[in-house]
Amino acid sequence: MKWKKFTLKTTTEAVDYISSLFDEIGIQGIEIEDNVPLTESETKGMFIDILPELPPDDGTARVSFYLDDDDDAEAILKEVDEGLSELRQYVEIGEGTITASETEDKDWINNWKQYFKPFTVDHILIKPTWEEIPEEHKDKLLIQIDPGTAFGTGKHETTQLCIRQLEKYVKPGVRILDLGTGSGILGITALKLGAGSVFGTDLDENAITAVHENLEANGIPEEKFGVVQGNIIDEKEVQDAAGYECYDIAVANILADVIIMIQKEVPVHLKQGGIFITSGIIDMKEQAVRDALSQNDAFEILETTRQGEWVSITARKR
Ligand SMILES: C[S@@+](CC[C@H](N)C(=O)[O-])C[C@H]1O[C@@H](n2cnc3c(N)ncnc32)[C@H](O)[C@@H]1O
């Protein structure tokens, strides 16, 4: 299958904002190229033998996305254009030009794999299923992931923010609701941290296959992690399948606008005192999420954590 590749020339400063914008538009699978040198801790955490030689960082970046023949490229590009005009008011987006080229399916379905290497989040080692465990990390809590075409390698800041909150709140045997489960990485991490069971939902059908494959890769029995495709915000079937007032922790790493909607539904599924971990929130939308959670009598906000431009807010059901 032929894919059209669209490449936006922008600044490194704007990359997270653009990735959030593309998410909102429904563009999946973006590719980011820049010349920002890795930090010392990134270099230590990546376990790669040879670091690529990069030209000097000039502050520019390229963000690419792919559309196939079924996508309405004209309508999507119009939405991108409008989104970029709005973003310009908050952040320096640089040139903002988009160029189009054709590519083959295999380019983007598999190319990312060469950049996905084992890495650590605190005492947790996350590694692609196809890589060896680095000798020096054999003592770490191992999570093996192949996201396939679903979201969730663990590299994204928002996933790591959620993982750190799970480390804090998961106690032996707790029940977890994993909203926007993607590859299942958060639910699987919770199980490895001692949770008793997970129920996951996602709009993306690829998430169902990815979760099953990743459970197998991690030696976790399927009955520990139920997963359904659907939207808990407004589908009674999904709400019933999840069950009511039965979760100790709900985690939703989606998007600020979705968190604002989903937080109205989450309390009916949480036990009293249950914890709601949210992320996927770009900093310029933090206040809107905070306002929504504050206006919801069911919740009290416990803490806010940050990584780069991304935010996680954790609340408790009163
Ligand atoms: C940023 S990814 C997170 C994946 C994984 N949980 C992680 O932390 O890496 C967000 C996921 O939420 C899904 N999603 C978006 N809106 C949703 C909704 N209303 N209900 C369930 N899933 C949703 C997307 O399909 C995507 O898989």
**Would residue 146 count as lying in a domain?**
no
**Would residue 24 count as lying in a domain?**
yes
Find out whether 71 is annotated in a ligand binding site.
no
CATH of the domain at 74: 3.30.70.260
| Residue 42 structure tokens | 């990134």
Specify the number of domains making up the chain: 2
User: Cα separation of 227 and 205, whole Å?
Assistant: 10
Helix (H) or strand (E) holding 42: helix 40-46
User: Letter for the amino acid at 85?
Assistant: S
Nearest CA to 188 out of 241, 156, 147 is that of: 147
Q: Which segments of the chain are extended strands (E)?
A: 2-11, 31-34, 60-67, 98-104, 119-121, 124-128, 141-145, 175-179, 197-202, 225-229, 247-253, 270-282, 299-307, 310-317
| 180 and 64 assigned to the same domain | no
User: Cα separation of 11 and 62, whole Å?
Assistant: 8
Is the C-beta atom of 286 inside 6 A of ligand 1? no
For tokens 């998961």, the residue is 170
| 8 and 104 assigned to the same domain | yes
User: Cα separation of 97 and 107, whole Å?
Assistant: 22
User: Cα separation of 56 and 35, whole Å?
Assistant: 7
Please report how many Cα atoms fall inside a 13 Å half-sphere around the Cα of residue 160, on the Cβ side. 16
Is the C-beta atom of 261 inside 6 A of ligand 1? no
**Would residue 205 count as lying in a domain?**
yes
Is the C-beta atom of 118 inside 6 A of ligand 1? no
| 164 and 294 assigned to the same domain | yes
User: Cα separation of 258 and 262, whole Å?
Assistant: 6
Q: Which segments of 98-210 are extended strands (E)?
A: 98-104, 119-121, 124-128, 141-145, 175-179, 197-202
| 292 and 218 assigned to the same domain | yes
**Would residue 148 count as lying in a domain?**
no
Nearest CA to 15 out of 87, 68, 85, 78 is that of: 87
Whether ipTM tops 0.90, in short, is yes
184 Rama sector, left if φ>0, alpha if ψ -120 to 50, beta otherwise: left
Atom of ligand 1 nearest to the CA of 233: 19
- Rounded to two decimals, the pTM is 0.85
The pLDDT of residue 19: 94
| 73 and 219 assigned to the same domain | no
| 274 and 173 assigned to the same domain | yes
Nearest CA to 227 out of 263, 178, 175, 271 is that of: 178
| 164 and 241 assigned to the same domain | yes
The pLDDT of residue 42: 66
**Would residue 127 count as lying in a domain?**
no
The pLDDT of residue 219: 97
> Helix (H, G, I), strand (E, B), or coil: what is residue 243?
coil
Residues 6+ apart with CB under 8 A from 178: 184, 186, 187, 190, 198, 199, 200, 201, 250, 251
The pLDDT of residue 148: 84
**Would residue 51 count as lying in a domain?**
no
User: Cα separation of 135 and 118, whole Å?
Assistant: 12
| 82 and 185 assigned to the same domain | no
CATH of the domain at 206: 3.40.50.150
- The domain of 202 spans 154-317
| 236 and 291 assigned to the same domain | yes
| 280 and 180 assigned to the same domain | yes
User: Cα separation of 108 and 4, whole Å?
Assistant: 11
**pLDDT string in tens for the chain (318-residue length):** 678 999 999 999 999 999 999 999 999 878 899 988 877 666 655 555 555 667 788 999 999 999 988 899 999 999 999 999 999 999 999 999 999 998 766 666 677 788 889 999 999 999 999 999 999 999 999 999 998 878 889 999 999 999 999 999 999 999 999 999 999 999 999 999 999 999 999 999 999 999 999 999 999 999 999 999 999 999 999 999 999 999 999 999 999 999 999 999 999 999 999 999 999 999 999 999 999 999 999 999 999 999 999 999 999 999
Find out whether 182 is annotated in a ligand binding site.
no
Ligand 1 pocket test: which of 151, 186, 211, 225 has the largest number of ligand atoms within 8 Å of its C-beta?
151
| 294 and 239 assigned to the same domain | yes
| 312 and 202 assigned to the same domain | yes
Ligand 1 pocket test: which of 156, 203, 232, 239 has the largest number of ligand atoms within 8 Å of its C-beta?
203
The alpha carbon of 237 is separated from its chain's Cα centroid by a whole number of angstroms, namely: 25
Atom of ligand 1 nearest to the CA of 201: 21
Is the C-beta atom of 162 inside 6 A of ligand 1? yes
